[in-house]
Amino acid sequence: MTISETPLIARRRLHRAVFVAAGLYNLGWGAYSALEPQWFFRFAGLPDARYPEIFACLGMVIGLYGVLYLEAARRPERGWLIAAVGLAGKVLGPIGALVLVASGDWPPRALFLCLTNDFIWWIPFGLYLVDAWALRRRLA
């Protein structure tokens, strides 16, 4: 079966729009964090990072996820692995943040980062993975 013969995923337009939005968001967030790595610490009321290069590197990685999300938008019938890894990070990241807040190392305000980076993407990424799973079952 060629790519042109591959059945289309359900809700294709929605999934493409979500991944374009996620890709652009991650590219923007990543670039800003790489160029201004102290922003989060100031926002959260934390002392400036001793090694801001680490947060800048995180920005670069998040930005690269943006490239992957744009690829999933381009070919949503083949983006399930990108979405699964992305959703795993969007679940594991808040768990780590909650541990930091619960231990008193981070203030609760720091959890705002999870709202924009993680929580808002859970439902659309999960819905995509449900549709991708159904497509994979149809192809099997």
pLDDT digits (tens, 9 = 90+) for 21-71: 999 999 999 999 999 999 999 999 999 999 999 999 999 999 999 999 999
Distances (CA, A) of 113 to 7, 80, 99: 37, 25, 14
Model's pTM, two decimal places?
0.92
Q: Across residues 75-88, what is the average pLDDT?
A: 97
In this predicted structure, the answer to whether residue 8 has a pLDDT above a threshold of 80 is yes
Going 17 to 31 to 33 to 51, the CA torsion angle's sign is positive
For residues 95 and 74, what is the distance between their CA atoms, to the nearest angstrom?
A: 30
Tokens representing residue 89 in the block: 């990070």
Q: What are phi and psi of 44, to 5 degrees?
A: -80, -5
pLDDT value of residue 2: 59
Tokens representing residue 37 in the block: 């790595």
* Axis crossing angle, helix 80-102 with helix 120-139, rounded to the nearest 10: 150
CA neighbours within 13 Å on the CB side: how many for 46?
Answer: 21
Q: Across residues 63-83, what is the average pLDDT?
A: 97
- The domain locations on the chain are 9-134
pLDDT value of residue 124: 98
